[in-house]
Amino acid sequence: MKWFVGCLAIIGLCSLPGWTFAQHTQQAEPPAMHVITETFGQLPDGRTVHRYTLSNRHGTRVQLTDYGAIVTSVETFDKNGQRANINLGFPNLEGYLERHPYFGATVGRFCNRIAFGKFELDGRTYTLATNNGPHHLHGGIHGFDRRLWHARPYQSEEEQGVEFTLRSPDGDEGYPGNLEVTAVYALTDRNELRVEFRAETDRPTILNLTNHNYWNLRGAGNGTILDHELLLEADYYLPVDATLIPTGKVAPVEGTPLDFRNYHRIGARIDQIPADPKGYDHCFVIRGEPGTLRRAARVRERQSGRVLEVHTTQPGIQFYTGNFLSGGPSDGGFPQYGGFCLETQHYPDSPHHPHFPSTVLRPGQKFHEVTLYKFGVE
């Protein structure tokens, strides 16, 4: 274990007592790391959709599909060595073809909201698709979550993954510029799911990419996440109006039910949030310098012992508690608060707030953001 403790010291986790890999300790021989490719279904136009299964030497498994560059499941072990899927999703392609709550999806061109589906860039006004009342949400009606990406599975000694690529043409959902996007999802032998986004454009445009995983550390479908305990590395958050558009203020979390600088049960103060339905759906300002990989959040669930950490280079993180989940078929049967999201991203509605970190991407510039999901038990 000396090498493992050294790794934790490097990434600043050595101060966390009891942290260890979520692995099957009774396993005599660790399995080899590998990628399995299989057919997941067909689109209405006849194109084949594939599913990719990543497995590391600790028995952690991640499944993805090239439709939407979606994470369909993440299986980890609990403190008793029992493995379960902790990521909300559907068992087959048909669930993803319907309009769903972005389960596990790669979201773009612009995740979160843009007020009234309009923005101005270099003196020109662009009009986007509106799909959230009067606002633009998660890339529009036919966002990246509803595209068939090109997939290239790969593996090395330390990780295996899938590199997804997509070309978003000029005018796509109203956005300017031909955009070349790469999304890499890799499962490492350190029990990390690494998500890496890269993009380039041939015209000035705006860009804000995220992954929309829903987590339940007790296991997907095993109750709600209200008893999970959350810690956020954030002293400030972005207040929003009744339609969840940022007001432009950057407010301190101190003295509010959004203060997660120390561990709090997710459900302890949820009724104090002035929203309908009740719940968290707020962007937090992550401490530290954007562009540097740093810890943004840590969640623990005492019944299973599972722990999830999120590290990212992004400036913000959207904490969402599945407020709009209804338990219906389009929600995969998952109830309200059946999962939580920690979406690393730039701030919502950034084009309308010049003091927010810029989401403008110009020719010659390279968009590059990395997020790590670290799985363990304590």
* Contacting residues for 221 by C-beta, under 8 A, at least 6 apart: 333, 334, 338
User: In angstroms, how far is CA 175 from the centroid of its own chain?
Assistant: 22
State the sign of the Cα–Cα–Cα–Cα dihedral 100, 105, 106, 107: positive
Q: What count of other Cβ atoms lies within 10 Å of the Cβ of residue 35?
A: 16
d(CA 354, CA 373): 30
Pick the closest to residue 280 from 303, 260, 255 (CA basis): 260
Ranges under pLDDT 50 in the chain: 1-17, 22-30
Q: CB of 146 within 8 A of CB of 68?
A: yes
pLDDT at 301: 98
Which tokens is 63 given? 């499944």
Output the pTM of the full model.
0.91
pLDDT at 9: 38
State the sign of the Cα–Cα–Cα–Cα dihedral 62, 317, 335, 257: positive
The ranges assigned to domains in the chain are 2-377
Which tokens is 181 given? 């996007």
Pick the closest to residue 297 from 313, 281, 282, 312 (CA basis): 312
d(CA 316, CA 347): 6
User: In angstroms, how far is CA 29 from the centroid of its own chain?
Assistant: 32
Query: What residue ranges in 13-56 does DSSP mark as E strands?
Result: 20-21, 34-42, 48-55
Active site residue 157: no
**Which letter, b or e, does each residue of 294-309 get, where b requires 16 or more Cβ atoms within 10 Å of its Cβ?**
bbbbbbbbeebbbbbb
Q: What count of other Cβ atoms lies within 10 Å of the Cβ of residue 37?
A: 13
Which tokens is 239 given? 């207040």
The strand pairing partners of 361, in sequence order, are 205
pLDDT at 98: 92
Asked if the 2-377 domain carries CATH number 2.70.98.10, the reply is: yes
Pick the closest to residue 312 from 277, 288, 329 (CA basis): 288
Residue reference for tokens 């101005």? 120
Q: For 286-328, how does the pLDDT look when each residue is reduced to its tens digit (9 = 90+)?
A: 999 999 999 999 999 999 999 999 999 999 999 999 999 999 9
Pick the closest to residue 370 from 311, 317, 319, 320 (CA basis): 311
Active-site hit among 309, 343, 346, 369: 343
Phi-psi sector, 129: left (phi>0), alpha (psi -120 to 50), beta: beta
Active site residue 136: no
Active-site hit among 50, 212, 311, 346: 212
User: In angstroms, how far is CA 269 from the centroid of its own chain?
Assistant: 23
Which tokens is 332 given? 């995969």
Q: CB of 56 within 8 A of CB of 187?
A: yes
d(CA 213, CA 74): 10
